[in-house]
Amino acid sequence: MPTTTRDDLAAFRAEVAEWCRTHIPADWRRAQTGVGDEEFVRFQKAWLHELRRAGFAVPHWPEEWGGGMSVARQIVLYQELARHDAPRLVLSFVSLHHAASTLLAAGTDEQRRRHLPAILDGEIWCQGFSEPEAGSDLAALKTTARREGDAFVVNGQKLWASGALHADWCLLLARTDPAAPKRRGISYFLMDMRSPGVEVRPIRQATGEAHFCEVFLDDVAVPAANLVGPENEGWRVAQETLGAERGMTMLELAERLGNGGFRWLVEQCARPGPDGTRPLDDPLVTDRLAALETELTGLRALCTDFVADDAPGPADASVVKLCYSELLQRLTDFATEATGLTAHTELRKPLSSGWESGAWVLDFIGSWEWTIPGGTSEIQRSIIGERGLGLPREPTGG
């Protein structure tokens, strides 16, 4: 890791803080509440452009592609963005992390030249991994890709594809050898979402949003040049994609939860209710807040250590993901309870915000999502037990 002195970091923190004060739209939360899809996409792309101009959009990418920031500086950057309540690049999350990390680790030079600059220009990606009958067992996927000349013909259905309605491209897993053991017959593709045979249907969620989508694939021709890594070795490539969910992104999310979400919760608990009393005057509330702050301090330290570690342990990423997702659930649950009726009347959340927008009922419902993608909490516990603690493998049955 490049050496960075304490003075360097202090100067960089001041630089980022000043940039935040002059570039974050003061009223973005109000302006992003209740907007339609078109305005949401426009705002997200404009915010990506602002971050790119400052050199803050892809600090985790290699220098030759516009990144190259030291881990120490990335930590400072995400701390300051959270502290100043910057919008999140929600729509570009898969593009900037999953797609980029996959292309950098396993893509061809042509694939990198084609897509990395386009992602910086606003190209949007989704992920076509989950399927209706595969559950958390990703290797049980049934979508097929059959080689025909210079293309693969894909048929099947994907589920829970975040942001697919707005996506230009898809990271797609499909089975190319049905006779092989289930993890060895899968290939990894880059699929143009405008290809004939691709149909996207949004799924209306309990929060009222339609963030998730179903993607139906009917004889979709994917050029063989869009294969990532060797044919039938997509499972290995997919681990690069999944790993992107658990690195610097977790540090950003932890900072936002501790630096923004918890601060808003304390501020709301300090406001008098209709009867003149404040939740903060209740000792039970202050005890819970103190306990949550302790957990948040631990989570932020855990994430910082994790991203700064050159050789993390085999279960460290699972520990971070498990701690974040379940703390998010507990904090939003308590916020809904502590803020009473107010929480139940705030039924619109600002788009472009994090998982802790301050619309606590919606945040609590949404928090359950985080315990599922990238491996459920049960799967994370199995990984921690087997790979981290060396316990016997869980029986698979049959």
Among residues 123, 245, 295, 346, the one annotated as catalytic is 245
**How does residue 7 score in pLDDT terms, banded at 50, 70 and 90?**
confident
Q: Per-residue confidence at 113, pLDDT binned at 50, 70, 90?
A: very high
Helix (H) / strand (E) containing 147: strand 144-148
Give me the mean pLDDT over the 1-24 stretch. Answer: 86
Q: Is the pLDDT of residue 398 over 50?
A: no
Whole-number percent of the chain with pLDDT over 70: 96
pLDDT of residue 318: 87
Averaged over 340-349, what is the pLDDT?
Answer: 80
pLDDT at position 157: 96
Q: How large is the average pLDDT for residues 200-205?
A: 91
pLDDT at position 207 over 90: no
Q: What is the pLDDT of residue 94?
A: 93
Are 139 and 242 spatial neighbours (Cβ–Cβ below 8 Å)?
Answer: no
Residue 343: CB atoms within 10 Å: 21
Among 94-108, 185-199, 237-251, which stretch is predicted with the lowest mean pLDDT?
Answer: 237-251
pLDDT at 85 over 70: yes
Q: What residue type is assigned to position 292 of the chain?
A: L
pLDDT, position 273: 80
Those residues whose C-beta lies under 8 Å from the C-beta of residue 283, and which sit 6 or more positions away, are: none
Q: Which has the closest alpha carbon to 125: 214, 192, 219? A: 192
What is the mean predicted confidence (pLDDT) over 22-39? 92
> For residues 62, 65, 69 and 71, what is the CA-based torsion angle, rounded to 10 degrees?
-40
pLDDT of residue 136: 67
User: pLDDT: is 202 or 4 the higher one?
Assistant: 202
Which residue has tokens 């690195």?
247
Q: What is the pLDDT of residues 264-294, one digit of tens each?
A: 899 989 988 878 889 999 999 999 999 999 9
In this prediction, residues 91-108 reach a mean pLDDT of 94
pTM of the model: 0.87
Q: What is the pLDDT of residue 4?
A: 64
Query: What is the structure's pLDDT at 2?
Result: 47
32 phi and psi, to 5 degrees? Answer: -95, 5
* Residue 363: per-residue pLDDT: 93
Q: In the predicted model, what is the mean pLDDT of residues 132-154?
A: 89
Average per-residue pLDDT for the chain: 90
Using pLDDT thresholds of 50, 70 and 90, give the confidence band for residue 244.
low
- Is residue 245 annotated as part of the catalytic site, yes or no? yes
pLDDT at position 142 over 90: yes
Give the pLDDT of residue 1: 46
Q: Where are the alpha helices (DSSP H) in the chain?
A: 6-23, 28-31, 37-54, 71-83, 93, 100-106, 109-120, 234-243, 248-256, 262-269, 283-308, 316-338, 340-345, 360-370, 377-383
Q: Is residue 169 very low, low, confident or very high in pLDDT (cuts 50, 70, 90)?
A: very high
Provide the pLDDT confidence category of residue 105 given band limits of 50, 70 and 90: very high
What digits encode the pLDDT tens for the residues 360-379? 999 999 998 888 877 788 88
